[in-house]
Amino acid sequence: MIRPNVRASFGRGEAELLLAVAGPGGEERLRAGGLDALLDDAQLVRTLLKRGGIEVAPAPLIFYLLVRHALLEREIHDRQLADYTAAVLLEFGRLGRPRLATEQQLPDTIYLADILQEIERARGEREFALRAHLGNVALWIGGVFPDFITHRVQRRGAPPMSYYDEMGAAGFRSAATMDLALKYDVGDLFLRFADQFTSVRSALNGLSDALFFPNPPDSVERVLREVADRFHRRLGRR
């Protein structure tokens, strides 16, 4: 099961790397505010990336920093949401699919309808894992591959982005209501994720557009997607 434990894995090596970038005053800030004082510094992150941080820094640190600041730009300050999102990206980033799918015999598919069919037949631990998996897959596909979704909608009449948002939020929310959510201490996290799924997904779209796939097949579609996301965010604030 994917857990929000990326941030907790940081140790001396990550601290020294951040201090090397932080420059004068870095150690004082670290003592006063802990590692988060450096992790939450947007200028430090920009400097790290300019110095080739993606190539030299550990993947967990880079993914956490990228996700954390993508969410902060959307005014999402919940560190645990950033932590869990980074864990999802790390897990699914291994050959494009989660290692847990094999270990826990979860369906090895990107199609949410296939996962829903599995949920209908499942009970207990497997049902809980599948419901969380539904949220994870929707986040991975909807967040990192928005152009893929747009292409499928245009070419095949496939489900739009709103479908991934609805299914992802439903997966996390339904998993949060199960007794096993209490056992694994993820109930509150999953509920918060369900409430902010669209905003988190939109933040990942921005990250994907800027860093993962900077050359869009259709730049107009990207603009329209961002406009739609801004509209929905404004509605959510009312």
Q: Per-residue pLDDT tens for 29-46?
A: 999 999 999 999 999 999
| The pLDDT value given to residue 207 | 92
Residues 6+ apart with CB under 8 A from 174: 131
| The pLDDT value given to residue 70 | 96
What pLDDT band is residue 99 in, cutting at 50, 70 and 90?
A: low
| The pLDDT value given to residue 51 | 80
Spell out where 64-135 has E strands.
none
Task: Compute the mean pLDDT over every residue in the chain, rounded to the nearest whole number.
Answer: 88
The domain spans of the chain are 1-92, 102-238
What pLDDT band is residue 24 in, cutting at 50, 70 and 90?
A: confident
| The pLDDT value given to residue 101 | 52
| The pLDDT value given to residue 96 | 52
Q: What is the mean pLDDT of residues 55-61?
A: 88
What pLDDT band is residue 2 in, cutting at 50, 70 and 90?
A: very high
Q: Per-residue pLDDT tens for 105-144?
A: 788 888 999 999 999 999 999 999 999 999 999 999 999 9
Instruction: Give the whole-angstrom CA distance, residue 106 versus residue 99.
Output: 10
Please name the residue that has the structure tokens 């920009």.
Answer: 46
Is the pLDDT score of 216 beyond 80? Answer: no
Q: What is the mean pLDDT of residues 179-192?
A: 97
Instruction: Give the whole-angstrom CA distance, residue 49 versus residue 66.
Output: 10
| The pLDDT value given to residue 117 | 96
Structure tokens at 159: 């489900």
Please name the residue that has the structure tokens 């730009």.
Answer: 73
**Cβ contact 188:208 at 8 Å:** no
- Between 98 and 160, where is the model more confident? 160
| The pLDDT value given to residue 35 | 96
Residues in the chain, total: 238
- Between 230 and 91, where is the model more confident? 91
